[in-house]
Amino acid sequence: DTAVSQTPKYLVTQMGNDKSIKCEQNLGHDTMYWYKQDSKKFLKIMFSYNNKELIINETVPNRFSPKSPDKAHLNLHINSLELGDSAVYFCASSHFIGATEKLFFGSGTQLSVL
Amino acid sequence: EDQVTQSPEALRLQEGESSSLNCSYTVSGLRGLFWYRQDPGKGPEFLFTLYSAGEEKEKERLKATLTKKESFLHITAPKPEDSATYLCAVQAASNTGKLIFGQGTTLQVKP
């Protein structure tokens, strides 16, 4: 039983294309996140949603649009992909926002833009 | 600006050779400091949360400590299965829900 699952694991695409990454958690958590990990291993928060409501939006280009149909799902759609978007994208969840809750991460989606 | 710096970037140890990883931070009001372990091709896995200076937590061969400016992850008599990247992160009191990560220390333990 995977707690936080994201698909696909690998995504290779051409510049200018639009792609989506899906994430689901079966932990019953209220809060979900998208993090980006660059080639130097830096993990940086992009978005967080609490019970389907956007809480954190970290100066991410508006080509990135998260969507949360329910509190168990948080998808990431990326328009007009650029070379610099190549990275590993991690979905995560926590019980709720507002406390020092540990995050549960998915296994990541490695995005390569050619 | 809130910031986390980890050192060294990479560390090679022989099995049984104890050492420490450093995490220096500047944050406007620390809410919590976290240690995560990340294996290649996987997401980070939670290890510890520390809340205040002087606090220590242990798990098997790992022990995390916290001061007002830094945290250490001590690894005692490491085994090859301890090889991974160890990530440190802080949560500021003013930025609920947002973790600021360091770049990690990649540990390799040779048998």
Contact (CB, 8 A) for A5 and A23: yes
**CB-CB contact of A66 with A6 (8 Å):** no
Q: Is the pLDDT of residue B97 over 80?
A: no
State the average pLDDT over residues B86-100.
87
Residues 8 through 47 of chain A touching chain B, CB cutoff 8 Å: 31, 33, 40-45
Q: Is the pLDDT of residue A99 over 60?
A: no
The predicted structure's pLDDT at residue B104: 96
pLDDT surpasses 60 at A70: yes
Residue A7, pLDDT score = 97
pLDDT above 70 (res A77): yes
Q: Where are the beta strands (DSSP E) in B8-111?
A: 10-14, 19-26, 30-38, 45-50, 56-59, 62-66, 70-75, 84-92, 99-101, 105-110
Residues A98/A30, Cβ–Cβ less than 8 Å: no
Rounded mean pLDDT, B76-89? 97
For residue A76, is pLDDT > 70?
A: yes
Percentage of residues in chain A having pLDDT higher than 70? 96
Of residues B73, B75, B72, the one with CA closest to residue B15: B75
Residues of chain A with Cβ-Cβ distance to B44 below 8 Å are 43, 90, 103, 105
The closest CB to that of A102, out of B49, B98, B103, belongs to: B49
| Residue B98 clears pLDDT 90, i.e. is over it | no
- Interval B18-44 mean pLDDT: 95
The distance of B72 to chain A (nearest Cα, Å) reads: 19
The pLDDT of residue A11 is above 90: yes
With beta carbons under 8 A apart, name residues in chain B contacting A92. Answer: 43
Q: Give the per-residue pLDDT at A98.
A: 59
What are the phi and psi torsion angles at A55 (to 5°)? -110, -45
Name the closest residue on chain B to residue A42, using Cα atoms: B103
Chain B partners of A90 at a C-beta cutoff of 8 Å? Answer: 43-44
- Average pLDDT for B76-99: 91
CB contact under 8 A, A107 and B97: no
Q: Is B87's CB within 8 Å of A43's CB?
A: yes
Q: Are B99 and B37 in contact (CB under 8 A)?
A: no
Instruction: State yes or no: pLDDT of A97 exceeds 80.
Output: no
